[in-house]
Amino acid sequence: MVEKHIKSLLYDHDCVIIPEFGGLITRYVPARINPVKHAITPPSKKIAFNEKLVLNDGLLISTIAFRNNVSKEVAQRMVLDFVHQAKASLHSDNRFVLQDIGVFKYNPERKLEFEYVESDNLLEASFGLPDLVARPLRVEEPAVLRTLLKERQQAPANVKQPLRKRLKRAYNVAAGLALTGLTVSALYFLSLQTDYNLSSLNPITLVNSGFNTAAITPARYTSDYVPYTEDERYTTYEIILPSDTPPAVAEEDITLEDEFTSYDSVASDQPVQVVEEEIAIKEKTGAEMNSGPAKVDLTIKDKTNRFYIITGGFSTLENAEVSRAAIRKGGHDAKVLLPGPGSRLFRVSVADFDTEQEAKSALTNYKQSFGETIWVFNY
């Protein structure tokens, strides 16, 4: 009788204490899927046991007294008899079954353990909900398709071919390789012959060669055309083309002796002074060319301790030289300063001065042409 009251109380309460024995505690379990049974179980309650909850809270005794219409003393005596019976069963059989709830037993360390037995769903919100079974759909395959799949799944048997078939296969492969080699060799030797045209192997050419092309003569002239004879052509050529025969020159008119005599007479008439004047003019011209303006060095390689107005810095010498050429076209004395120790920039200057004061004074004028980013640099 006490077992029925304990089960009914577990529907409405989360904890039911059995005095001098322990407390039964419920916890909520959400819905879950059973992959083996292909079933969906609704939410429920699971019961656990705590043997330290032995203090009487009056819930079980009051419920038994109210439902059986007895006094609390009688109800308390009924609970104590139930507890005494449970402990006696544990000592004798090491097992006590609380019907529809679970099984109590001692472990090897003589501690009481509880195993919950799922029977009825103790969650009132899930009352009447059965387990939903969702069986997977199985598509029946046609008999022909099943047969084909079965044949494909079967591993092919490695049947050893007879020696005769293997020799025949090897012979076919060797014959094919030999034929290919002979064909390639023949084409190679034909290509080495200078008087042989490989285009003659073209099948279209061989077909066209069967026609007689000499029989087909295109009509180049009209029916009333009369061609020139050979004599008429030569006569026409003599009139049009000039004669290539040079005029005859008498050998006695020009002699080698007369040629040398005339040359010596002309050379002897010129005074020696003319030759000396030509030599003097050449020496003077060479001196004037050598005394011209000295070549200006546009690349500063060593430190000069002068103050330069810098228009920009470049990572490569080519870019710096391009900038220098553009500035010099504007009429400025632009130069390139090679990088000093610890620097990699090729700087381009538009002017240089002896002192810093002169450079800073001229800086304002140059800013009008080159912008506000120029600066003075001592190199």
Does residue 231 surpass a pLDDT of 80? no
Residue 72 belongs to some domain of the structure: yes
3-state secondary structure the chain: CHHHHHHHHHHHCCEEEECCCEEEEEEEECCEEECCCCEEECCEEEEEEECCCCCCCCHHHHHHHHHHCCCHHHHHHHHHHHHHHHHHHHHHHCCEEECCCEEEEECCCCCEEEEECCCCCCCHHHCCCCCEECCCCCCCCCHHHHHHHHHHHCCCCCCCCCHHHHHHHHHHHHHHHHHHHHHHHHHHHHHHCCCCCHHHHCHHHHHHCCCCHHHCCCCCCCCCCCCCCHHHHHHHHHHHCCCCCCCCCCCCCCCHHHHHHHHHHHHHHCCHHHHHHHHHHHHHHHHHHHCCCCCCCCEECCCCCCEEEEEEEECCHHHHHHHHHHHHHCCCCCEEECCCCCCCCEEEEEEEECCHHHHHHHHHHHHHHHCCCCEEEEC
Residue 241 pLDDT more than 70?
A: no
Tens-place pLDDT, residues 161-198: 788 888 888 999 999 999 999 999 888 887 776 555 55
pLDDT for the residue numbered 223: 56
Which of 133, 162, 186 is at the close of a domain?
133
Give domain status of residue 230, yes or no: no
Q: What is the pLDDT of residues 306-362, one digit of tens each?
A: 999 999 888 899 998 998 999 999 888 889 989 888 788 899 999 999 999 998 888
State pTM to two decimals: 0.36
Is 270 strand, coil or helix? coil
Top mean pLDDT of 197-211, 221-235, 273-287, 309-323 is at 309-323
Which of 112, 133, 154 is where one domain is finished? Answer: 133
Least reliable range by pLDDT among 37-41, 71-75, 80-84, 101-105: 37-41
pLDDT on residue 210: 53
Q: What is the mean pLDDT of residues 213-236?
A: 58
Q: Which residues of 31-66 are buried (b: 16+ CB within 10 A; e: fewer)?
A: eeeeeeeeeebbebbebebeeebeeeeeebbebbbe
Has residue 114 been placed in a domain? yes
Q: Name the residue range of residue 7's domain.
A: 2-133
Task: Report the share of the chain in percent with pLDDT over 70.
Answer: 68
Is 77 a domain residue? yes
Number of domains in the chain: 2
Residue 203 is predicted with a pLDDT of 55
59 falls within a domain:
yes
Whole-number pLDDT of residue 176? 92
Q: Is the model's pLDDT at 58 over the cut of 90?
A: no
The type of residue at 237 is Y
**Residue after which a domain boundary falls, among 133, 155, 177:** 133
Q: Is the pLDDT of residue 23 over 60?
A: yes
* CATH at residue 363: 3.30.70.1070
Cβ-contact 14, 25 below 8 angstroms:
yes
Q: Is the pLDDT of residue 201 over 70?
A: no
The yes-or-no verdict on residue 107 having pLDDT over 80 is: yes
Examine residue 326 and state whether it is found in any structural domain, yes or no: yes
| The pLDDT value given to residue 158 | 59
Say if residue 27's pLDDT is above 80: yes
